[in-house]
Amino acid sequence: MKFGVVIFPGSNCDHDTIYTLRNILEQEVVALWHKEADLKGVNAIILPGGFSYGDYLRSGAIARYSPIMNEIVSFAKRGGFVFGICNGFQVLCETGLLPGALLHNNNQKFICQNVHIIPDNNDTIITKDLDKQQPIKIPIAHGEGRYYAPKEILQDMRMKDQILFRYCNKYGEITLDANPNGSMENIAGVCNEEKNVYGMMPHPERAADEMLGNTEGKAIFDSILNNLLPR
């Protein structure tokens, strides 16, 4: 599998993602600079976390107009696999490839901590091999991670299994106290209706290496590799 990792000015999890894909999962990886218009024959694209363009406007709002995004939108509309992590999730919402928006955390502060999330379904490439009863401990690091979507859209998303993960406690219980940022219905990740574009706020690439003392996020990448068919 050949992955492309997009790099914007201000990306700071790009090399974490490249390291995880190349060194831990032994996949071919190429960096895709934001000004390029060539996807270099990749089978899958990941938009990493960070602060694209410094988040000076709204997170992801400027990155949405980078030349590379025109190619990514076309790639996604052809059925290509696209995965946005944290800032990448924000960018995908700004492009309209994912429903909803990421708003300022309800405490108006940047949050960096470990949380627990649990798969909402097993009907996607990312969640198919995960245990719906087993919470995953994984880090978050964001200031605008509060997921919002209009109620009618959210209802449609529930019916179509477009909710990937919800924040929970260590026992897998979806509670108000386990919600770190005020996201609607504890939502931590979503996908599009066609289930080829994905986004999540927590960072699986920061929980995939034994040297970090946590490899629970690796299960998400393993599920991708096991279920994503090369294009």
Left (φ > 0), alpha (ψ -120 to 50) or beta: where does 108 sit?
left
* Alpha carbons 1 and 217: distance in angstroms, whole number: 19
The token duo for 32 is 């895709």
* Alpha carbons 41 and 54: distance in angstroms, whole number: 29
* Alpha carbons 104 and 150: distance in angstroms, whole number: 16
- Active-site residue, selected from the candidate residues 13, 86, 93, 191: 86
Active site residue 15: no
Active site residue 86: yes
Nearest of 117, 121, 120 to residue 207 by alpha carbon: 117
Residues 6+ positions from 153 with CB-CB distance below 8 Å: 99, 100
The token duo for 150 is 């209009």
- Active-site residue, selected from the candidate residues 71, 94, 144, 205: 205
* Alpha carbons 156 and 172: distance in angstroms, whole number: 24
Active site residue 205: yes
Q: Which residues are catalytic, by number?
A: 86, 203, 205
